[in-house]
Amino acid sequence: SAKIGIDDGNGQRPEMNVFSILILLVLVAGIIMAFSVSARRMKKGSSCCGEKGEKVPRNGVSDRNKAHYPYRAEAVITQMTCDNCAARVENALNREDGIWATVRIGTGKAVIRAKKPIEQEKIRHIIAQTGYGMGAFTVEP
């Protein structure tokens, strides 16, 4: 096979065959592509849940009188990575009749208010249906 010599500075000429050079070129091309994809993402901005600017709207509840919600619980939500994740969990919980939830990515928790006693497994199921997990669950008296 064809060999190309490169002077290593000591008068020695280590040889590289054409196959080795092709491998090197493929690696360099891969590195360049990886940097260009990263640069594009940083320029546009992105999150796990979509490009920057595609914010998931939070759907609140119509009854915001805390006195109507005598039951309260906190749930740790796992696998959330951005505010859009928190909005998705909050919206799913708020779709349930008699529940008013607030989910914050900063704390990783859902504060759940309810008009009836809160069923832990029901909350776990709702959260699981959105693609997330539930850790610690605390019912407040």
> Residues 38, 75: one domain?
no
111 with 77, same domain?
Answer: yes
More confident residue, 121 or 21: 121
Nearest to 110 by CA among 97, 47, 129, 85: 85
Confirm whether 114 is domain-assigned.
Answer: yes
Confidence category of residue 7, pLDDT binned at 50, 70, 90? low
**Residue range 23-79, pLDDT digits in tens:** 899 999 888 887 776 665 555 444 566 556 588 999 989 999 999 999 999 999 999
Q: Is residue 9 part of a domain?
A: yes
14 assigned to some structural domain: yes
Q: What is the pLDDT of residue 22?
A: 87
Question: What tokens does 18 get?
Answer: 């054409």
| 70 and 39 both lie in a single domain | no
Please check whether residues 73 and 111 belong to one and the same domain: yes
User: Is residue 57 included in any domain, yes or no?
Assistant: no
Q: Is residue 54 a part of any domain in this protein?
A: no
User: Domain span at residue 77?
Assistant: 66-140
Task: Please indicate, yes or no, if residue 49 is contained in any of the structural domains.
Answer: no
DSSP the chain: --EEE---SSS---EEEHHHHHHHHHHHHHHHHHHHHHHHHHHH-EETTEETT-PPPP---S---GGG--EEEEEEEES--SHHHHHHHHHHHHTSTTEEEEEETTTTEEEEEESS---HHHHHHHHHHTT-EEEEEEEE-
Give residue-wise pLDDT tens across range 74-103.
Answer: 999 999 999 999 999 999 999 999 999 999
Domains in the chain: how many in total?
2
Query: What's 72's domain CATH number?
Result: 3.30.70.100
